[in-house]
A and B are shown apart, each in its own frame.
Chain A
Amino acid sequence: MFLSAAGCDEACSDRVVFAVGGAPSELEAWEELAADFTRETGIRVEILRRPADTDQQRQSLILALNAGLSHPDVFLMDVVWVSLFAESGWLEPLDGFDPGPFFQSVIETVDLHEGKLVALPVYMDGGVLYYRRDLLDRFGLRPPETWAELLKSSLRVQNVLREKNPDFYGFVWQGAQYEGLITNFLEFAGSEGGFLLRDGRILLDLPANRRALEYMRDLIRKYRVSPPSTYTEMREEQARLYFQQGDALYERNWPYAWSLHQSPGSPVRGKTGIRALPSPAGEEAVSTLGGWHIGVSRFSNVKPQAMAFVRYVTSSQGQKKMVLRLGWNPGRQDLYFDPEILAALPYLAELKDVFRQARPRPMVPYYPQISNIAQRQINSALAGHIDAGEALIRAEREIAALLIRYGKPARTEPGE
C-alpha cells in the first residue's frame, strides 16, 4: 500500500485507477474492456477490484474519497449513491459529454447535479416478473396483469403442485433485511399509489404504503404463497435459485436472472417468461430503478485520461462489448434498437420500456441511512413482530430524528 502510493507520482502519472466490484465474470469483462481502451489510446488502466457486496463497495469508496485520495480516479456507483457522492463534492463534472443517447428520465433524476452532468449510467436495472410459462399453460392461465391476479393464480397452482412438491410456492421475491427489501417494497407501494419521497419530504406512513406492506406480509403469513424464509433469507440470488430449481411459479427479480434461468442445465430453461411487474388495472407497472453509474473523482490527478476512459466505457462501442459479453442492460438507449444486440438478447426490447418508466429511490445523500431504518421496520412487520402501520410510523419517526440531527428542516430536497 505505502509503496504504491509513494511511488505513484511519477510511475503512474498516466495510469487511470478504476474501482469496480462484482462477480468474477464481470471483473474479467472490465479487464478486457480496459485492455482494448489501452490498445486504442495508450492510456493505461489499473482495475482496482472491489468486493461484490454493495455495502462494502460503498464503504471503501466513501473512505477513499472522504480522505481526498487521488485514487481511484474512476469508479462505479450504485444508482442510490450518486446523490451522496455529488452532494459531498466528490464528482468531477463530465463537461462535454452528450447525455442525449441515454435514458432521459434517468439522466434527469440521477446524473444531473445542480444542472451539471456528474455521472452516466453504464448499466440499467429495473424489477421484472418471471413466470413459468409451462405451468400457466397447463392451468390455462395468462401471465398476471394485477397483483390480485398474481395472488389468485399462485394459490390455484400451488395447491395442486404441493401434493407432489411440498416446497412449491407461488411467488418468491426479496424480503430479507437489506436494500433489496426497499426496492421490492417501493414496487408494491408504487402500484398502490404509495411513495417514499414527495415534494422533498420523506413520507412512509401513508394508507397506500400500509396496504402494500400488509399485502407483502399476507403473501407470507396469510396466503402462504411466499415461503416463510422470505423475510430471513430471500435476497436476489436466493429467490433466483428457488425459482430456477422449479419450486416457484413467479419470481420478482432484476433482469440478470433471465440468462441464468435460460442457461444450459437450468431446470426452468425454455419454460420461463419475463414481463413487467403487475400493476393496478389499466395503469403502468411500477418498477424500482436500479443500475450502476460511472463517475470521475474530483481528486484525480489524471482527469483528462480518466475522462477519456469514461468516454470509452459509455460509448456505443464500449457499451456494446459489455452487453454482448455479459448480457448487460446498457445505459444507452440507442443500443436497445441495435439489430445485433436484439438478435442476441431479444428481451431487451421489452425491458426498454421498464427502464424508461422505472422509479428512482429517493435521490437524497442520506438515502443509505433512511433505507437502513426502513429496512429494519419493514422487515419487522414481515416477521410479524409489529403490524404494518406501526412499522411505518416508527420508521417515519426515526427518519425524522435523523433529519433533525442533520439539521434538515421539513423540506429536504438536496441541491434544488
Chain B
Amino acid sequence: MKKTSFHIDRETRAGIGFLAPLLLCLIGLILVPVAGTIATSVFRDVPYLPKTFIGAANYVSLLNDPAFWRSLMFTLLFVLVSVPLETVFGLGIALVLNQVFAGRGMLRAAVLIPWAVPAAVSGRIFELIYNYSYGAANRMLALLHMEPANWLGSASGAFLGVVAADAWKTTPFAAIILLAGLSAIPEDLYRQARVDRAGTFQRFFRITLPLLRPVLIVTLLFRTVDALRVFDILYVLTGGGPGGATTSLSLFGYRYFSAGDFGYASAATVILFGIAFLLSLVYLKLGGFSREIR
C-alpha cells in the first residue's frame, strides 16, 4: 500500500462510497426500528389511554412482574442448554462431513434439510411426534406395551421437548458453518503432525480446535442471538405453556404487543435486545476479531 495521503484519501472516499448504501440500509432497517422501540418503551402506549411519557416505569413494572422473570429465566436457560448442544452436535457432523468418502456431497445436502424447513413447520412436525393421542412417540411406547406419556405436560418435559425440536432444526446450521471453517484448515498441517506422530486427539485439540476458534465463536454468536429470540417453535408447539413454563421473552413481548400494550411490549423487547447486544460484545471480545482487523 502506498503511503501518499492523496492516494489514501481517494481510496477512503471510494470505500465510503461503496459502504454508503449498506450503511444507509443498516441505519434504515436496524438503527431506526431499534431507536423507535426504545422511544416507545418509555411511554404508556395503549390505544384506549392517553399516550403518556412515564420514563422508566415500564422497566420498573417489568422487574416486578413475576411472569417477566419467568420468561427471562426460561430464555436464558434455553440458550444455555440448546446452544452448546447444537454446537457440539454440529461440530461432530462437520468433522464427519469433512472426511473424504463416497456420497459425501449427497450427505452434505441431506444434513441441511432440517435447516431449510421453516420453524413453524418443524414445530408442527414435532407436534405430530409429541401428540398424546396420535403422536409417533406414544405409538412407539404402545408397541413396547407402555402407557402413553403426555410429553409436553410438565415444565421440564415441555422444556426438553422444545430444546429437542430446536436442536433438530438448527444443528445443521452450526454444522455447515463449522464445516466451512474446517475446510479452510490447510491439509499440510495434519500431514506434518502425522509425521511428528501426533495422535487423533492431539491433532484435534492442537490443530483443529485452535484454528477453528474464530469460526466456532461466530457460530456460537449466531446461535446465541437466534436462540435468545426464540419464538415460532414455541408459538406452534406449546403456545408458551403449560402454565407459561415455555414463554420466551419474545413470546412474552408478543402477547402484550398483540393486545395493544406497545409500551410494555417494547420495554421487554429492549431488555432482550440489551442482553443480545452484551453477549455479542463478549463473543467478539473472545474471538479477538478487533485485534485481527488492526
Contact = CB atoms under 8 A, between A and B. Distances in A.
A88 B47 contact: yes
B49 A379 contact: no
A406 B61 CA distance: 11
Contact of A380 (B153, B244, B260): B244
Contacts of B64: 401
A386 B245 CA distance: 12
Interface residues of B, number: 38
Given A59-B258, A66-B47, A232-B153, A380 B243 contact: yes
Given A233-B131, A377-B243, A401-B61, A369 B67 contact: no
Nearest to B155: A385
Given A369-B256, A383-B153, A227 B47 contact: no
Contacts of A385: 155, 242-243, 245
Interface string B32-68: 0000000000001011110000000100010011110
B283 interface: no
B264 to A, nearest CB: 7
A227 B133 contact: yes
A369 B261 contact: yes
A360 interface: no
B65 A380 contact: no
A414 B133 CA distance: 44
B133 A247 contact: yes
Given A176-B241, A379-B243, A398-B67, A406 B49 contact: yes
Contacts of B49: 406-407
A65 B48 CA distance: 12
A84 B242 contact: no
B242 A383 contact: yes
Contacts of A65: 47
Contacts of A62: 47, 258, 260
Contacts of A232: 132, 150, 152-153, 158, 238, 241-242
Given A232-B150, A232-B152, A233-B131, A369 B239 contact: no
B124 interface: no
A177 B240 CA distance: 8
The A interface, classified by DSSP as helix, strand, loop or mixed, is helix
A380 B261 CA distance: 24
B132 A383 contact: no
B154 interface: yes
A373 B71 CA distance: 13
Contacts of A227: 132-133
Nearest to B127: A233
**Most-contacted residue by chain A among B46, B61, B238 (CB, 10 A):** B46
A380 B247 CA distance: 13
Q: Is the interface of B mostly helix, strand, loop or mixed?
A: loop
B168 interface: no
A65 B264 CA distance: 19
A231 interface: yes
A231 B153 contact: yes
B285 interface: no
A31 interface: no
Contacts of B257: 59
A199 to B, nearest CB: 21
A381 B245 CA distance: 12
A88 B51 CA distance: 11
A167 interface: yes
A200 interface: no
B116 interface: no
Interface in A391-416: 394, 398, 401, 405-407, 414
B258 A55 contact: yes
B67 A231 contact: no
Contacts of A242: 133
A87 interface: yes
Nearest to B257: A59
Contacts of B261: 369
B242 A177 contact: yes
B7 interface: no
Interface in A240-284: 242, 247
B259 interface: yes
A406 B46 contact: yes
A312 interface: no
B194 interface: no
A372 interface: yes
9 cross-chain pairs, A with B, having the tightest CB-CB distances, nearest first:
A380-B243, A177-B241, A229-B132, A368-B259, A87-B48, A88-B47, A376-B244, A59-B258, A383-B242
